[in-house]
Amino acid sequence: MSKIQNISGFMGKMQPSATLSITSKAKELKAAGRDICSMSAGEPDFDTPQAIKDACIKALEEGKIGYTPASGLPELRQAVADKFMKENNIKTSMAQCVVAPGAKFSVFTAVATLCGPGDEVILLSPYWVSYPEMVTATGAKIVVIETKAENNFEVTEEQLAAAVTENTKLLILNSPSNPCGSIYSLETLQMIAKSAIDNDYMVLSDEIYEKLVFDEKYPHISIASLSDEINERTITVNGLSKAYSMTGWRLGYLTAPLWLAKRIIAFQSHTTSNATTFAQYGALEALKGSVDDEVEAMRQAFAERSKLIYELVNDIDGLSAVKPTGAFYLFIDVSSFGLNDEEFADRLLEEYEVAAIPGAPFGAPGFIRLSYACDEATIRKAVQRLAACCDSLR
Ligand code: PMP
Ligand code: GLU
C-alpha cells in the first residue's frame, strides 16, 4: 500500500454510521422493487409544518441568501436562548447559544473543542452510534459504562464512581435515549450532576428527543436546570430534526458556558461557517411556537405507535424490550435465538424484508433497534415478519 493511504490522524479512522448506511441500503432495496418495511431510519415520517416552510420560502424570496455570522442569525440565537430559559429552565444568554448545521455537528463541535489526547470521555451504553466515533476523532479515550435494561438503562452511582478518574473530561448523556427509548429520572440526573461537580468534569446532554415523551410519570428534565454549578459544566444540545420533522434541513443548536461557546464559534467559523441562511428563518418560525399544535399531534402519533409496537413485540416468545417512554425507538433483546445481533438483523432484512439496526454499533450486542417512525400498517406488517423470523429460529 502506498504511504498516501496510511492514515495517521484520528479523523480518518472514523467508521461509516451504521444507522445511515443501513437506512440507505433499505432505501436502495425498496427502489429496486423489494417490499421492505423500513424500521431503521431515525427520522419522523411527517412533513415539516407548513408555517416553517413558508418562513423559509419567504426568506429566500426576500433574498436572504448571504452568510450569517458563523454562530447563527442573532435573532435565532436569541430565540434559542429564550427556548432554553423558558422550556428547559436553563439559565443562558444569546452569547452562549450556537446554531449549527444539525445537532450532530453541535455534538461534534462540543466534543472536538473540549477533548483531546489524554482525556477520558464516559459513554453510557447503549449509546447513539456517533458518540464513540466523535470521541475517537479527537484522540480522547472512550470509557464505556454498560447500563442495564433492569435499571431502565440508567447508570448507577457505583458504576459511575468506578469509571471516573482524574482524566475524566466529559460524560455524554442522551435522554430521551436513542436507542433505548428511556428517560433519565431526576434522582439519577442529580447523582450525575454531583459526580461532575465533585470530580470536575463536563456533561454533554443531548436532548434532541425532548419533545417526544409519552408518560407523565417520566418527564424530560434538563440536567443543566438542576443548579448553577451543574449549568456551568453542561453543554445542552438540541435541534429541529425530530420535534419539527426537519431532518433534511440540517439545523441544530446548543448552549454552553461562555468560555466554551466562544471556542465552538471559532471552530465553526473555520469549518462550516453558518447553517443554511434561509433554513435558519424556518427554525426561527418553529421556535416562535406557531406550530406547537402540529408538534403535539406528532407527539401523540408517536405515543400511540409506541404503545402498539411495544405490545406486539412483547407478545413474541423469546423477545423482550423495555417499554419506551420517549423518542421513537424500541430496543429489543434478541439474544435468546442463538444468532448474534448482526446475523439476526441481516436475516431479518434479507429473508423477511424488515430493516432494523443491530445493537453492536450502539455498544449493545444482542439487541436490535426498531424505529417506529412509520405508519401503523407498516408497524403491524414489520412485527408479523419479525415474528415469522423468530419462529424460523426456534
Ligand atoms: N443525537 C441523537 C441522539 C440522534 O439520534 C440524532 C439523530 N440524527 C442526532 C443527535 C442528530 O440529529 P441532527 O443532526 O439531524 O440534528
Ligand atoms: N439519529 C438517527 C438514527 O439514529 C438518524 C441517523 C443518524 O444521524 O445517525 O437513526
One-character DSSP codes across 173-197: EESS-TTT-----HHHHHHHHHHHH
Taking the CA of 38 as reference, the closest ligand is 2
- pLDDT tens string 149-201: 999 999 999 999 999 999 999 999 999 999 999 999 999 999 999 999 999 99
269 pLDDT exceeds 80?
Answer: yes
As a dihedral over the C-alpha atoms of residue 192, residue 158, residue 364, residue 237, rounded to 10 degrees, the angle is 10
Q: Whose CA is nearest to atom 11 of ligand 1?
A: 104
Q: Which of 124, 242, 371 to mutate to test the pocket of ligand 1 (most atoms within 8 A of CB)?
A: 242
Q: What is the pLDDT of residue 172?
A: 98
State the pLDDT at residue 279.
98
> Closest Cα partner for 330 from 350, 351, 311, 352?
311
Region of poorest pLDDT, from 5-14, 61-70, 137-146: 5-14
Residue 133: its pLDDT value, please? 97
| Ligand 1 center–CA 162 separation, angstroms | 29
pLDDT tens sequence across 6-31: 888 899 889 989 899 898 989 999 99
pLDDT at 8: 84
Q: If you measure from the C-alpha of residue 42 to the centroid of ligand 2, how many angstroms do you get, rounded to a whole number?
A: 5
Which residue's alpha carbon is at the smallest distance from atom 1 of ligand 2? Answer: 42
Beta bridge partners of 357: 369
Specify the ligand 1 atom closest to the Cα of 247. Answer: 15
* Secondary-structure class of domain 66-287 per CATH: alpha beta
How high is the pLDDT of residue 13? 87
Q: Cβ(128) to ligand 1 under 6 A? A: yes
For the Cβ of 102 lying below 6 angstroms from any atom of ligand 1, the answer is yes
Residue 237 region, left (φ>0) first, then alpha (ψ -120 to 50), else beta?
Answer: beta
Cβ atoms 133, 14 nearer than 8 A = yes
Mean pLDDT of 50-71: 98
Cα-to-centroid distance, 161 and ligand 2 (Å): 30
In this predicted structure, what is the pLDDT of residue 41? 87
Pocket test for ligand 2, best of 15, 25, 107, 129 (most atoms within 8 A of CB): 129
Q: Is 103 in the pocket of ligand 1 (CB under 6 A)?
A: yes
Please tell me the distance from the alpha carbon of residue 388 to that of residue 323, in angstroms, as a whole number: 22
User: The C-alpha cell of 176 is what?
Assistant: 430521551
Query: Is 19 a pocket residue for ligand 2 (Cβ < 6 Å)?
Result: yes
What confidence score (pLDDT) does residue 21 get?
A: 87
What percentage of the chain has pLDDT greater than the value 90? 93
Report the pLDDT value the prediction gives residue 365, as an integer from 0 to 100: 96
Percent of the chain with pLDDT over 70: 100
Q: Is the CB of 178 under 6 A from ligand 2?
A: yes
* pLDDT at res. 9: 87
Residue 117 CA to ligand 2 centre (angstroms): 27
Q: Which of 142, 106, 86, 179 is nearest to 372 (CA)?
A: 179
Q: What is the dihedral of CA 361, 363, 365, 366, to 10 degrees?
A: -110
Q: Is the pLDDT of residue 1 over 80?
A: no
Q: Once rounded to an integer, what is the mean pLDDT over residues 108-115? A: 98
Dist. CA 2 → ligand 1 center (Å):
36
Q: Note the pLDDT of residue 2.
A: 86
What is the pLDDT of the chain when averaged over all its residues?
A: 96
Closest ligand 2 atom to residue 41 Cα is: 10
Task: Report the candidate in 380, 326, 339, 127 with the shortest Cα–Cα distance to residue 213.
Answer: 326
pLDDT at 76: 98
pLDDT in tens, 215-234: 999 999 999 999 999 999 99
pLDDT value at position 40? Answer: 94
3-47+293-393 has which CATH code?
A: 3.90.1150.10
Answer for the pair 148, 331: CB distance below 8 angstroms, yes or no.
no
- For the entire predicted model, the pTM comes to 0.97
pLDDT of 225 reads: 98
Q: What is the mean pLDDT of residues 254-276?
A: 98
Domain spans, the chain: 3-47+293-393, 66-287
- The amino acid that residue 92 corresponds to is T
The stretch 377-393 carries a mean pLDDT of: 97
- Ligand 2: does its nearest atom lie under 6 Å from the Cβ of 40? no
